Amino acid sequence: MNTTDRLIKLLIALAFAAASAALWWPVESRAERIKEVATVQGIRSNQLVGYGLVVGLDGTGDQTTQTPFTTQSLNAMLQQLGINVPSGTTMQPKNVAAVLVTATLPPFAQPGQAIDVNVSSLGNAKSLRGGTLIATPLKGADGQIYGLAQGNMIVGGAGASQGGSKVQVNHLSAGRIPAGATVERSVPTPWMQSTIAQLDIQADDFNTARDVANAINRAKGAGTAEALSGRTVAVKLPEQPGERVAFMADVENLPIQRAIPAAKVIINARTGSIVMNQAVTLGPCAVAHGALSVTINSTPVISQPNALSQGQTVVAEKADIKINSEPGSLIQMPAGTKLTDVVKALNSLGANPQDLLAILQAMKAAGALQAELEVI
């Protein structure tokens, strides 16, 4: 056997090995982490809100004649500072605006830490650009003060007006203050009060809950996690508080294979948007869809009386109603087990998104669409 024959046989053997590997080795799929499908119960953010004043505006503040609460707030603030405004004084400050301040208090936030705040106009201020927020207490749902906001605003817009003409870029009645609030009180969490942590699955899926529990048990030992329902998984925490942070960091980064979700079609009736996931399948069916239009034309008719008849001119309307029904041909749609097949079948109907809303509902009622319809 010469060298050429040996080389040919070697190449054939390598090609056969590569083909065998492609047939028997599983294709590598991207796994999601537990932190992307579940959250720890009790470890959540809290919404804060407050009412305050923005000062230092360049004549673009509230018109106090239409927003009396701005003047009342300004009087109350001046009284707190020891300044008494004589009764009967008409105040029309153009550089002050009443605003609503909102912020999100992250979990485990401690007193003294800074958080971002959003400031939105509450009255009819033309612009908050260049304004400064005066100290504003931020309260939670329980009415307690959890933060104090103050600082210079950042408004991502610009505008100018003169002689009835106006040019505006982006929105001028809302802004943001980075690190504009200081946390004054922390929110207690059940993190250190129990040896059991509960993971809340984002989607109601028993398969995902089981996969999360199995992944934790494989990494941390049997019996560490237990799936209680399609949305909750109980996890045993270490006895030592110092070990819990490292334990949960490992748990959150454990990979799991995301199961195929339930077949679902999301329909937005207001915009005509239709979104379906990869699990949607279509059974064989036949669809005929025609366009029905109703046109109503109204023409005024004037009835003029004869001369010297002492009659009155009467105006009436003549309505012309036309109903047009375009024929729709019967189209046979084959069964589709893949999302691409379903999309091709629906596109073959030639219907617009508004027509597809009615077609999909009819397919679901006829049993040809194997998916759950959800209207948002």
Structural domains in the chain plus CATH codes:
46-157+168-183 (no CATH), 194-256 (3.30.70), 264-302+315-375 (no CATH)
**HSE-CB for 26 with a 13 A CA cutoff:** 3
Q: What confidence score (pLDDT) does residue 20 get?
A: 40
237-271 residue pLDDT tens: 998 878 888 999 999 999 988 767 788 888 887 78
CB 268 within 8 A of CB 303: no
368 closest CA partner among 288, 284, 289, 287:
284
- DSSP track, 257-303: PPPPPPPEEEEETTTTEEEE-TT-EE--EEEE---EEEEEEEEEEEE
Rounded to whole angstroms, the Cα distance separating 331 from 287 reads 5
78-88 residue pLDDT tens: 888 888 888 77
Q: CA–CA distance from 166 to each of 116, 131, 162 (Å)?
A: 31, 21, 7
3-state secondary structure the chain: CCHHHHHHHHHHHHHHHHHHHHHHCCCCCCCEEHHHCEEECCCCCEEEEEEEEEECCCCCCCCCCCCHHHHHHHHHHHHHCCCCCCCCCCCCCCCCEEEEEEEEECCCCCCCCEEEEEEEECCCCCCCCCCEEEEEEEECCCCCEEEEEEEECECCCEEEEECCEEEEECCCCEEEEEEEEEECCCCCCHHHCCCEEEEEECCCCHHHHHHHHHHHHHHHCCCCEEECCCCEEEEECCCCHHHHHHHHHHHHCCEECCCCCCCEEEEECCCCEEEECCCCEECCEEEECCCEEEEEEEEEEEECCCCCCCCCCEEEEEEEEEEEECCCCEEEECCECCHHHHHHHHHCCCCCHHHHHHHHHHHHHHCCEECEEEEC
Q: What is the largest CA-CA distance in the chain?
A: 128
Rounded to whole angstroms, the Cα distance separating 346 from 333 reads 8
Q: What confidence score (pLDDT) does residue 97 get?
A: 93
Residue at 300: amino acid letter:
P
6: its two tokens: 């040996």
Q: What confidence score (pLDDT) does residue 48 get?
A: 97
At which residue do the structure tokens 């001028």 appear?
Answer: 172
Q: What confidence score (pLDDT) does residue 324 get?
A: 62
220: its two tokens: 């941390």
Rounded to whole angstroms, the Cα distance separating 212 from 233 reads 8
Q: What are the average pLDDT values for consecutive 10-residue runs of the chain, which has 376 residues?
A: 55 46 38 87 92 91 83 86 79 87 94 95 89 95 95 80 64 90 90 87 87 93 93 92 88 84 83 83 79 62 70 70 62 72 73 78 85 86
Q: What confidence score (pLDDT) does residue 17 get?
A: 44
CB 116 within 8 A of CB 175: no
Rounded to whole angstroms, the Cα distance separating 121 from 129 reads 11
CB 103 within 8 A of CB 113: no
348 closest CA partner among 282, 293, 267:
282
Q: What confidence score (pLDDT) does residue 4 get?
A: 56
